[in-house]
Amino acid sequence: MAERGESSEAVMLKKTEEEKLRKGKMIVGDESKAGYEEEGKKVKLVTSDGVTMEVEISIVKEMEIIQTFIGATDTDDSFIFPISNVSSHILNQIIELVKGEYDQELAKKLSHDELKEILVAANYLNMKTLFHFIATAIANVIQNKSVEFVRDFFGIVNDFTEEEEAELRKTNAWAFEGVDED
Amino acid sequence: MITKMNICGRKRKKTETGDGKREKMQTDFSPSPSVHVNEDLIKEILLNLPTKAVLRFKALSKSWFSLISDSEFARRHFDAAVSPTHKLLNFVNDSKAYCVDIKSALCNDSWHAVSNFIVPSSFDLWGSGLSVAGSCRGFLLLQYYFHDLVMWNPSTGRQKEIHCDSSWPHDLSGMGYDPVDDDIVVVTVTLRINDDNDSKVSYFSLRTNCWTSVEYVLPYAYSKFQLELRHGQFWNGALYWILKSSDKLRSVVIAFDVREKRLSEVPLPNHLAILPLQSDIYHLKVMGEHLFLCLVRNEVALIEMWSMKEQHKEVTFWIKTFVFSSYLVGFMSLIFPICFTENGEILAFNSHDTLLKINKKGNLVRYGKKHSLLDFLSCGMYRESFLSLPGESGEIK
């Protein structure tokens, strides 16, 4: 943990905070507790591409993986949490989705890769609402799509023989009717 | 990844030491176009899809096939009920089945053929007369002339014949679910097998694959609307039927507790049990969360729907929920409700096998065209599922 703290002299950090960081790492100074406003509080997250981002506590609170940690450690804003599975781009997307109160319209603007990356990130960060939201969004995308489209979407290799696949299509023929064009 | 960082303006120079060491970083920076979504996450997505899509995606790959074929997953999908689809199914000429999404039931073009039902050879003996006697967890219970029974899941085509243990045809039948044993139980009742009012109640457990018979003294007779009432309604863990007392003066509700395997009379209040000559209870139906009985009062040309509110030891309480004019859908026509639509209207048949919608105030909202395919008795409603039958393990290929 401590070494990650060291690597976080990030461009977006305010200078004062940077200072605190250098001396503080994860050790909490007593004075930092005084007059703490929960609402304005931000938590610094270091993404997989090494970017340190300040994220509002209200959003971080949804990240149960971090929340557990914050709850367990008495910390101030010098606390830095590395989220090595999430890129800054995806974290930005996540922040927008949370701020946008999980509007399915927002999900429509995401690319297939973004949808998948956010799903994986939501699972990693243990963000239940986001996970449910994005799983629903992906379900909406693939619901009326062909088998080929969904293989492509998830990068699945078809390992059925032609005969096997034809048989499956025959067994559940009705399920292949009325499918959208790719 | 680099471009993505540019987009969000968070690009930052990294020190070689800190990040370069970690393997994780390298994978994240690799130009791999596709993110790997593991099987657990795939499952969570599939739980949000309707049965039709999930069945289609069985053909994606072998791992998707086995994931979807897993009976535990099928159960989760059914219980999650994120996008349940309810369908109305109708048999024509005892072999061809057609079905329609309840949402578009009045649109004739929406009906489509279901071709995965194989008429059992034993059914040939009885010729025509197929009816839908029950519906439970995606399966329909079909029967010919109150003899042999078949369980059939129209979504997956899975079917199983259940041979009745006696040559004596039963009078009542039905199907219910026991959540404790996770068992589907098929029940038949044969009234008055002798002059002493002895009756036989038989139940078949799909899980144990065997029949059990119990004799009761049941002083009951059919109501004059016998056919419509012979198929039990499964509600709150029990199967319900409406009968007449043996003197035919009173209406009687009986219930078979599917968990306890016990038959008992459900006492009807007098104002419903004893009706004027021109009135009668003609239909029993579970709709939404409630059990309704339909009552026609020919003397005032009204049809009433009463819902059971609560049951104490001595009596049941019923509330008059809907009232319709019996001229609403044709001259003195009965209304056979099927279910509520999404916006709370009532989807129903009239006496002439035509579908219609009625709103809560009792006004006709929409009248379907007379449909040559439709036949009230051979119609059944089911919820799409890919559940296997209790006792069956895994998937029949």
C-alpha pair distances (Å), A67 with each of A43, A161, B29, B203, B247: 11, 48, 27, 53, 71
Report CB contact under 8 Å: A51, B56: no
CA-nearest residue of chain B to A153?
Answer: B34
pLDDT value of position B171: 87
Mind telling me how many Å the CA of B212 is from chain A's nearest CA? Answer: 34
Q: CA geometry: angle at B340 spanning A175 and B374, to 5°?
A: 60
Report CB contact under 8 Å: A10, B12: yes
Q: Which has the higher per-residue pLDDT, B379 or B64? A: B64
B81-118 in b/e burial notation, b at 16+ Cβ within 10 A?
eebeebbbbbbeebeebbbbbbeebbebeebeebebbe
Q: Per-domain residue ranges for chain B?
A: 37-84
Report CB contact under 8 Å: A119, B28: no
CA-nearest residue of chain B to A152?
Answer: B34
pLDDT value of position A52: 93
pTM above 0.90, yes or no: no
Cβ A52 vs Cβ A8: under 8 Å = yes
pLDDT value of position B224: 60
Which tokens belong to A6? 């060291």
Which tokens belong to B139? 């399966």
pLDDT band at B284 (very low <50, low <70, confident <90, very high): very high
Test mutation, A172, A176, A177, chain B, max B CBs within 10 A? A172
Give mean pLDDT, residues B332-349.
89
Q: What does the pLDDT look like over B28-64, one tens digit per residue?
A: 443 445 688 999 999 999 999 999 999 999 999 999 9
Report CB contact under 8 Å: A89, B56: no
Report CB contact under 8 Å: B50, A143: yes
Among B123-127, B166-170, B315-319, B348-352, the least confident range = B123-127
pLDDT value of position A119: 97
Q: What percent of chain B stands above pLDDT 90? A: 47
pLDDT band at B17 (very low <50, low <70, confident <90, very high): very low
Asked whether residue B368 carries a pLDDT value surpassing 90, the answer given is no
Q: What does the pLDDT look like over A13-29, one tens digit per residue?
A: 444 444 444 443 433 33
Query: What amino acid occupies position B155?
Result: S
Runs of H (alpha helix) within B22-134: 23-29, 39-46, 51-56, 62-69, 71-80
Give mean pLDDT, residues B216-220.
86
By C-alpha distance, which of A139, A127, A45, A58 is closest to A92?
A: A45
Asked whether residue B140 carries a pLDDT value surpassing 90, the answer given is yes
Report CB contact under 8 Å: A143, B49: yes
Give mean pLDDT, residues A104-130.
95
Report CB contact under 8 Å: A173, B115: yes
Measured between CB atoms, which of B22, B45, B59 is closest to A147? B59
Mind telling me how many Å the CA of B127 is from chain A's nearest CA? Answer: 27
Other Cβ atoms within 10 Å of A50 Cβ, number: 27
Cβ B272 vs Cβ B318: under 8 Å = yes
Report CB contact under 8 Å: A53, B44: no
Q: What does the pLDDT look like over A149-166, one tens digit per residue?
A: 999 999 999 999 999 999
pLDDT band at B396 (very low <50, low <70, confident <90, very high): very low
CA-nearest residue of chain B to A112?
Answer: B34
Asked whether residue B8 carries a pLDDT value surpassing 80, the answer given is no
Which tokens belong to B223? 């109501």
Q: CA geometry: angle at B286 spanning B145 and B113, to 5°?
A: 55
pLDDT value of position A72: 58
Report CB contact under 8 Å: A85, B24: yes
Report CB contact under 8 Å: A147, B49: no
Residues of B in contact with A111 (CB under 8 A): none
CA distance B180 to A158: 39
Which regions of B19-154 does DSSP assign to beta strands (E)?
86-92, 96-101, 112-114, 130-136, 139-144, 149-152
Summary mean pLDDT of chain B: 83
Measured between CB atoms, which of A88, A135, A155 is closest to B48? A135
Q: What does the pLDDT look like over B63-120, one tens digit per residue?
A: 999 999 999 999 999 999 888 999 999 887 767 888 899 988 888 788 888 888 887 7
Interface of B with A in 17-36 (CB under 8 A): 18-19, 22, 24-25, 28-29, 33-36
Summary mean pLDDT of chain A: 80
Asked whether residue B308 carries a pLDDT value surpassing 60, the answer given is yes
Measured between CB atoms, which of A116, A147, A177 is closest to B60? A147
Measured between CB atoms, which of A52, A120, A142 is closest to B41? A120
* Contacts (Cβ under 8 Å, ≥6 apart) of A103: none
Q: What percent of chain A stands above pLDDT 90? A: 57
pLDDT value of position A29: 39
Helix axis angle for A112-125 and B39-46, nearest 10°, is 110
CA distance A65 to A48: 16
Give mean pLDDT, residues B7-34.
39
pLDDT band at B4 (very low <50, low <70, confident <90, very high): very low
Q: Per-domain residue ranges for chain A?
A: 2-84, 147-176
Report CB contact under 8 Å: B52, A119: no
Mind telling me how many Å the CA of B11 is from chain A's nearest CA? Answer: 7
pLDDT value of position B96: 80
Helix (H) or strand (E) holding B176: strand B172-178
Reported ipTM: the value is 0.78
pLDDT value of position A41: 79
Q: What does the pLDDT look like over A29-62, one tens digit per residue?
A: 344 443 344 556 788 899 999 999 999 888 988 9
- Residue B265 dihedral angles phi and psi, to the nearest 5°: -90, 135
